[in-house]
């Protein structure tokens, strides 16, 4: 994606898709996120890399309020995540309002988390029918189209246990897309896969990026980050150590910590 | 390497192993022992002062049949009440709301901790506490409202709910947390997640102990005898007071209990199969398939088939 397109997209919406200001997160005594500031623009593919325990997955989960942030502010498409601000007071959103916010944010998990008691097609149909109250016929048609798009149109009647890991993850991507999200979060989507199955999932993600989806990808696939990513952030110890264009950061890291991490994974 | 593999002739089948199977002498000894013991018990029972000949006649006696019917429907209704209330209690118990979770805990503590016979009698005599039932739109003397049927239903059902809630809770907790996260990430509410995602998967864990509970309920319902409900044991006792065949009538009742539990055991298999969908690649066999397979295995028990 060219910078021109990015600028156009940004000027059209007027605000970034995701904005984080001083985001902190603690689990009891463990201080996981220690002040994250970043912006993700519409139509951007934003890659988060870093060692395990650096807080990148936690940050991703904060974006759709699966985790509550302890301090700071987090906006998605201009709306505060999980709270409503009136004057200088913050009000927690009700469960229904949080659910409504999540509708527009798709998420893909490391361990797929498909619904095992439903077929691939039913998995993809479930949220539109239940959450959007869409008719089954409409949902089924879209589900079929999405399964075709991820190359699994002929597997629609299979249960997750009858699919390979790569196929399950592709169904999971189709399931998230069925809600027609404006933002997709990927939490190490290929880490639980056999090496030879990684490619098919990355192909689907690359195709999605080309269609203009805003994506935040926590990944260990440096090749994907370099080829598809528009921005890259290296996190360690709960802070952003280095940020920039993927090619620059990956080939010419500035910080010692980034250098030592990349020397081990590249 | 691959070339030689491709060209390897596949037409020569490997020679199958023909070995003499291990002899299990212990099985024959144990079998003979079991038969001997059964014969001894049989002789003892047939010499007892019991009039077996009247048992078949009374199996289809009108009074006994109506008792079996009452046992069947009170246990089904009490179980349904227990199941519905049990799910509600389990959800309450796991709720983040401290009031509801405490109420649920207290309910289970009380109803599990007191004898079901006492609970039945308490419902039957509830007019001691509330002489008049006043629901605003409906008002009547409690003695008129609290029939043996209602006392049996409440006594058995509310007691069962305490047990069911623990079974349901175990089932819900057995479902992977990732399922909840995935549902929430799709924008589903707590209730939708529970109904559409968690409970259907929890059923796989819930069904086997629930079948157990139901079979238990079939027999525990005999305690409704104490509140004048016309179930099987009460009817058997009624018949024995006129026919003077007391033990024989309890045998008749037991045969009916065995028939009912057998029928429900078969039903449970099919229920388990229904909820095994998606959890394994192959469904467990139905009782009929199992029977056929066992018969086939029995027919060839002398020379086991060589593995294909």
pLDDT in tens, A13-55: 578 999 999 999 999 999 999 999 999 999 999 999 999 989 9
- Whether the pLDDT of residue A253 is over 90: the answer is yes
Q: A84 φ, ψ to 5°?
A: -125, 135
The pLDDT value recorded for residue A97 is 94
Quickly count: other Cβ atoms within 10 Å of residue B304's Cβ: 9
The pLDDT value recorded for residue B278 is 65
**Residues B308, B300: Cα–Cα separation, whole Å:** 15
Structure tokens at B106: 């207290």
According to DSSP, residue B23 is labeled: P
Q: CA-based Rg of chain A, rounded to a whole angstrom?
A: 18
The pLDDT value recorded for residue B306 is 46
User: Which residue out of B187, B206, B276 would a mutagenesis test of the A interface target, given it has the greatest number of A Cβ atoms within 10 Å?
Assistant: B187
Nearest CA in chain B to A108: B182
* Domains observed in chain B: 63-274 (1.10.3720.10)
Nearest CA in chain B to A178: B186
Per residue, the 3-state secondary structure of A201-262, as one string, reads HHHHHHHHHHCCCEEEEECCCHHHHHHHCCEEEEEECCEEEEEECHHHHHHCCCCHHHHHHH
Give the pLDDT band (50/70/90) at residue A212: very high
Average the pLDDT over A146-175 and give the result: 95
Q: Please, are residues B141 and B132 in contact by the beta-carbon 8 Å criterion?
A: yes
**Residues B286, B295: Cα–Cα separation, whole Å:** 14
The neighbouring-strand residues paired with A79 are A76
Per residue, the 3-state secondary structure of B28-40, as one string, reads HHHHHHHHHHHHH
CB-CB neighbors (< 8 A) of B275 in chain A: 117
Q: Does A131 touch chain B (CB under 8 A)?
A: yes
- Whether the pLDDT of residue A5 is over 60: the answer is no
- Whether the pLDDT of residue A8 is over 70: the answer is no
The pLDDT value recorded for residue A257 is 94
Average the pLDDT over A75-99 and give the result: 93
Shortest CA gap A109–chain B (Å): 8
CA distances from A186 to A149, A243, B177 (A): 18, 19, 18
Instruction: Nearest by CB to B185, from A66, A118, A126: name it.
Output: A66
The pLDDT value recorded for residue B51 is 87
More confident residue, B166 or B274: B166
Instruction: Nearest by CB to A161, from B185, B197, B280: name it.
Output: B280
Q: Which residues contact A46 (CB under 8 A, 6 or more apart)?
A: A18, A40, A214, A215, A216, A217, A229, A230, A231, A232, A233
DSSP of A107-131, one letter per residue?
Answer: EE-TT----TTS-HHHHHHHHHHHT
Q: Are A66 and B182 within 8 A, CB to CB?
A: no
Q: Please, are residues A108 and A63 in contact by the beta-carbon 8 Å criterion?
A: no
Q: Please, are residues B85 and B157 in contact by the beta-carbon 8 Å criterion?
A: yes
Average the pLDDT over A184-207 and give the result: 95
Cα B79 to chain centroid, rounded: 10
Nearest CA in chain A to B199: A117
How many percent of chain B have pLDDT more than 70? 89
The pLDDT value recorded for residue A87 is 87
**Residues A145, A191: Cα–Cα separation, whole Å:** 27
Average the pLDDT over B279-289 and give the result: 67
Q: Are A159 and B278 within 8 A, CB to CB?
A: yes
The pLDDT value recorded for residue B304 is 47
Q: In what order do the strands lie in the sheet with A30-40?
A: A30-40, A18-27, A71-76, A79-80
pLDDT of B7-58, one tens digit each?
555 677 888 888 888 888 999 999 999 999 999 999 999 898 888 888 898 9
The pLDDT value recorded for residue B23 is 85
Burial of A24 (0-12, 13-18, 19+ CB in 10 A): middle
Shortest CA gap B180–chain A (Å): 9
The pLDDT value recorded for residue A263 is 92
Instruction: Nearest by CB to B281, from A111, A130, A161: name it.
Output: A161
CA dihedral A45, A49, A54, A57 (to 10 degrees): 40
Q: B92 φ, ψ to 5°?
A: -60, -45
Structure tokens at B241: 């007071």
Instruction: Nearest by CB to B189, from A99, A116, A172: name it.
Output: A99
Shortest CA gap A169–chain B (Å): 13
Per residue, the 3-state secondary structure of A176-192, as one string, reads HHCCCCCEEEEECCCCC
Average the pLDDT over B268-277 and give the result: 82
The neighbouring-strand residues paired with A91 are A84
**Residues B232, B75: Cα–Cα separation, whole Å:** 11
Q: A215 φ, ψ to 5°?
A: -130, 135
More confident residue, B293 or B205: B205
Q: In what order do the strands lie in the sheet with A183-187?
A: A105-108, A183-187, A214-218, A45-49, A231-236, A239-244
Average the pLDDT over B175-202 and give the result: 95
Burial of A132 (0-12, 13-18, 19+ CB in 10 A): middle
The pLDDT value recorded for residue B256 is 95
Give the pLDDT band (50/70/90) at residue B308: very low
Structure tokens at A68: 């509550």
Shortest CA gap A248–chain B (Å): 33
Q: Are B188 and A95 within 8 A, CB to CB?
A: no
Q: Are B182 and A162 within 8 A, CB to CB?
A: no
Cα A83 to chain centroid, rounded: 21
User: Which residue out of B176, B183, B186, B193 would a mutagenesis test of the A interface target, given it has the greatest number of A Cβ atoms within 10 Å?
Assistant: B186
CB-CB neighbors (< 8 A) of A109 in chain B: 178, 181-182, 185
Burial of B278 (0-12, 13-18, 19+ CB in 10 A): buried
- Whether the pLDDT of residue B112 is over 70: the answer is yes
The pLDDT value recorded for residue B74 is 96
Average the pLDDT over A79-97 and give the result: 92
Shortest CA gap B74–chain A (Å): 32
Q: Residue A30: which H helix or E strand, with range?
A: strand A30-40
Q: Does A160 touch chain B (CB under 8 A)?
A: yes
Size of the A and B interface in Cβ pairs below 8 Å: 74
Average the pLDDT over A81-102 and give the result: 92
Q: Are A175 and B196 within 8 A, CB to CB?
A: no
Burial of A244 (0-12, 13-18, 19+ CB in 10 A): middle
CA distances from B160 to A200, B85, B195, B209, B265 (A): 51, 9, 22, 12, 19
CB-CB neighbors (< 8 A) of B181 in chain A: 66, 109, 113
**Average pLDDT of every residue of chain A:** 92
Closest CA to B262 of B287, B298, B295: B287
Only one residue has tokens 């009742």, namely B253
- Whether the pLDDT of residue A6 is over 70: the answer is no
pLDDT of B214-268, one tens digit each?
999 999 999 999 999 999 999 999 999 888 888 999 999 999 999 999 999 888 8
The pLDDT value recorded for residue B305 is 46
Q: A86 φ, ψ to 5°?
A: -125, 115
User: Which residue out of B278, B279, B282, B283 would a mutagenesis test of the A interface target, given it has the greatest number of A Cβ atoms within 10 Å?
Assistant: B278
Give the pLDDT band (50/70/90) at residue A170: very high
Average the pLDDT over B137-165 and give the result: 93
Q: CA-based Rg of chain B, rounded to a whole angstrom?
A: 27
């Amino acid at each position: 994606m060219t910078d021109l397109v990015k600028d156009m997209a940004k000027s059209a919406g007027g605000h970034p898709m995701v904005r984080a200001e001083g985001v902190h997160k603690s689990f009891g005594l463990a201080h996981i996120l220690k002040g994250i500031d970043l912006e993700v623009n519409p139509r951007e593919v934003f890659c988060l890399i870093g060692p395990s325990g650096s807080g990148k997955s936690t940050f991703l989960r904060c974006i759709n309020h699966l985790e509550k942030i302890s301090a700071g502010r987090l906006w998605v498409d201009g709306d505060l995540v999980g709270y409503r601000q009136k004057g200088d007071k913050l009000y927690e959103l009700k469960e229904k309002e949080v659910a409504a916010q999540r509708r527009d944010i798709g998420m893909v998990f490391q361990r797929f988390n498909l619904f095992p008691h439903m077929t691939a097609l039913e998995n993809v149909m479930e949220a539109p029918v239940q959450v959007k109250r869409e008719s089954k016929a409409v949902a089924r048609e879209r589900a079929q189209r999405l399964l075709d798009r991820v190359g699994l149109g002929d597997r629609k009647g299979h249960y997750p246990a009858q699919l390979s890991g790569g196929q399950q993850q592709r169904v999971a991507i189709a399931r998230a897309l069925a809600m027609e999200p404006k933002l997709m979060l990927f939490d190490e989507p290929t880490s639980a896969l056999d090496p030879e199955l990684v490619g098919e999932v990355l192909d689907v993600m690359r195709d999605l990026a080309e269609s203009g989806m805003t994506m935040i990808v926590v990944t260990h696939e440096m090749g994907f980050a370099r080829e598809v990513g528009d921005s890259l952030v290296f996190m360690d110890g709960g802070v952003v150590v280095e940020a920039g264009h993927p090619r620059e950061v990956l080939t010419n890291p500035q910080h010692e910590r980034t250098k030592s991490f990349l020397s081990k994974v590249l | 390497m691959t070339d030689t593999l491709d060209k390897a002739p596949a037409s020569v089948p490997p020679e199958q192993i023909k070995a003499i199977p291990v002899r299990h002498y212990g099985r024959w000894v144990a079998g003979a022992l079991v038969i001997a013991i059964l014969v001894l018990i049989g002789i003892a029972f047939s010499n007892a002062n019991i009039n077996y000949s009247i048992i078949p006649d009374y199996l289809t006696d009108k009074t006994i049949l109506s008792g079996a019917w009452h046992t069947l429907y009170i246990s089904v209704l009490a179980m349904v009440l227990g199941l519905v209330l049990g799910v509600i209690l389990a959800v309450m118990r796991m709720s983040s709301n401290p009031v509801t979770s405490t109420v649920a805990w207290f309910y289970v503590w009380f109803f599990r901790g007191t004898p079901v016979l006492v609970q039945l009698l308490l419902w039957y005599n509830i007019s001691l506490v509330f002489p008049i039932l006043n629901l605003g739109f409906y008002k009547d003397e409690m003695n008129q409202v609290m029939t043996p049927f209602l006392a049996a239903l409440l006594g058995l059902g509310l007691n069962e709910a305490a047990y069911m809630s623990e079974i349901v809770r175990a089932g819900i907790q057995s479902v992977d947390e990732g399922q909840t996260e995935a549902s929430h990430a799709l924008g589903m509410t707590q209730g939708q997640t529970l109904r559409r995602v968690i409970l259907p998967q929890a059923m796989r864990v819930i069904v086997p102990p629930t079948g157990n509970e139901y079979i238990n309920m079939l027999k525990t319902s005999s305690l409704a005898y104490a509140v004048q409900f016309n179930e099987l044991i009460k009817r058997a006792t009624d018949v024995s007071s006129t026919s003077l065949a007391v033990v024989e009538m309890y045998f008749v009742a037991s045969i009916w209990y065995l028939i009912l539990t057998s029928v429900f055991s078969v039903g449970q298999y099919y229920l388990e199969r229904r909820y095994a969908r998606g959890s394994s690649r192959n469904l467990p066999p139905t009782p009929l398939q199992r029977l056929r397979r066992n018969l086939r295995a029995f027919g060839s028990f002398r020379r086991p088939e060589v593995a294909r």
